[in-house]
Structure 1
Amino acid sequence: MGLLDDKVVLVNGGTQGVGAAVARAAVREGAAVAVSGRRPGAGEALVAELSAAGGKAVYVRADLADAGQAKASVARVVDAYGRIDCLVNSAGLTARGTLLDTTPELFDAHIAVNLKGPFFAMQAAVADMTARGASGTIVNVITSSAHGGQPFLAPYVAAKAGLAGLTRNAAHAHRWDRIRINGLNIGWTATEGEDATQRAFHGAGDDWRERAAARLPMGRLGQPEDIADFVVFLLSERSGVVTGSVIDWDQNVLGGLD
């Protein structure tokens, strides 16, 4: 459909999972894409895949836990393409911790990846857009756990709830610049990172996806490709004037009780 024809899109945390799916969807819709992350093998392989399919893509090596590298990821895109039109913040750290056992180091790690990195990537992207007097769009991939979450996700919830608030604040601040900023509170999703998390923290076996799906209303986990299509919609003009919205992309209903 060409929803992102001639747009330049940076997907932070784009080398796997939801971010990689967004990169594929953006290229399919006509965008020139940059994917950033700290795994050069995965990033370069994805760029090769996108290029082989006729897309325009580059890999930007960046550890998004470092605010300077998060800002530099935007600068690298501007160097490569001359501008940035769209930013997607999809990097995430989900290491477990409760209120009682979270160390200051673990808390800081969550803040760095899940809040500080997105903050400074947004700062750099909006600075480029406003300097050019250009409109733009940003989507932050958040989590339905930002509403409260499980006890073992305390630092993750704290950081992601901050990102939800930042999404609204930045959208309000830059609405007159015609820069639209929205967020997605995604639910339980079948990604490589979630697979590693389930095995590392919950002793999950090879059948964990099937067992999890059987407990969910729709009978399946969320799929990265479905989320990617929604992200592209929010990045595109098809989503109209919507800004400052943090949308629950989940099969459980907030406030619903059985």
Structure 2
Amino acid sequence: MTSPATPLYKRLLLTGAAGGLGRALRPRLTARCEVLRVSDLADLGAAQPGEEVQQVALQDRAAVLALLDGVDAVVHLGGLSTEHAFDDILQANIVGAYNLYEAARIHGTRRIVFASSNHVTGFYRQDEVVNPTMPVRPDSYYGLSKAFGENLARFYFDRYGIETVCLRIGSSFPEAKDRRMLATWMSYDDLERLVVASLSSPVVGYSVIYGMSDNHHVWWDNTSAKHIGYRPQDSSEPFRAAVEARQPTLDLTDPAVLYQGGGFVKAGPF
């Protein structure tokens, strides 16, 4: 989807740039800024034209403070993206998120696009439709950490005026892999559309939006996405026949089938 565009920011930071979504967004965001600063704990390779590369652990407060120096906006994908033991989640996702927001406050960064997760509401059933105003029901330590991140973002907006769009990302992969993903899937092109809309909308305040494509069956009411101009253009429907052939029946006694969080609702113990 990437096309020539007027840069939105002088320096944009992409954390978690070595992860699956980070790798997808990294080449797509260079047109949206004069300088793209990419960071991760993992190796990011050599800086590409228009990039700065920094290897940073989010739990290292001093390093994160330096990372935010000169940054106008952040796309924060960093941290652990699956279920782990709580102590690991605590450092990467909870302490790390606090360090990022505090560094943004100190340096005057005004907008953050925060990769939250559908697992914030994973213990709602698959026969329910959820909207961002409903109480959170985390399905895991991971989902719990993302609920903390959303509350952190709310506090930093109310107290310090740092705008955040919290993206409750569904399942962003090249294709829908199973029956659950027919509802939760988001293409990489729609991911880019959602992130760019979150960065470019004139006023976002504190917003919570589900990250999904224009799928036929959905569990999430994304009416609240309209004010940022996100309009998904892809759908999981082309994958339906192959998915249903692989999964012709479902075990309705399996919590992973009953609840929106899928396998996260029964991950662990650690």
Using structure 2 for the length normalisation, give the TM-score: 0.65
Cα deviations by residue, 1:91-116 (Å, 9 ceiling, x for unpaired): 1314436xxxxxxxx21211222222
Report deviation, 1:173.
1.8
**Alignment match, 2:204:** 242
Cα deviations by residue, 1:45-76 (Å, 9 ceiling, x for unpaired): 4x33xx1xxxx1011011224344333322xx
Residue 21 (structure 1) aligned with residue 21 (structure 2): no
Amino acid at match of 2:17: G
**Alignment match, 1:148:** 122
Amino acid at match of 1:155: Y
**Alignment match, 2:83:** 96
**Alignment match, 2:158:** 172
Residue 226 (structure 1) aligned with residue 161 (structure 2): no
Instruction: With a CA cutoff of 8 Å and minimum separation of 6, indicate the structure with the bigger relative contact order.
Output: 1
Cα deviations by residue, 1:151-181 (Å, 9 ceiling, x for unpaired): 9952111111111111222122223xxx422
Report deviation, 1:223.
2.7
Runs of 4+ residues over 4 Å off in structure 1 = 149-153
Aligned residues of 1:9 and 1:33 also touching (Cα < 8 A) = yes
* Structure 2 portions without partners, runs of 5+: 125-136, 222-257, 259-270
The structure that is helix-richer by fraction is 1
- Aligned counterpart for 1:160 among listed residues 120, 123, 146: 146
Aligned residues of 1:96 and 1:153 also touching (Cα < 8 A) = no
Q: Aligned partners of 1:60 and 1:13: how far apart in 2?
A: 11
- Aligned counterpart for 1:58 among listed residues 52, 55, 60: 52
Report deviation, 1:87.
1.2
CA RMSD for the aligned pairs? 3.0
Aligned residues of 1:185 and 1:247 also touching (Cα < 8 A) = yes
Aligned residues of 1:37 and 1:60 also touching (Cα < 8 A) = yes
Amino acid at match of 2:54: V
Q: Aligned partners of 1:211 and 1:89: how far apart in 2?
A: 25
Q: Aligned partners of 1:167 and 1:128: how far apart in 2?
A: 16
Q: Structure 1 residues 2, 174: closer, same or farther in 2, change over 3 A? A: farther
Amino acid at match of 1:246: V
Q: How many residues of Structure 1 are paired with residues of Structure 2 in the alignment?
A: 204
Aligned residues of 1:167 and 1:181 also touching (Cα < 8 A) = yes
Aligned residues of 1:138 and 1:181 also touching (Cα < 8 A) = yes
**Alignment match, 2:219:** 253
**Alignment match, 2:45:** 44
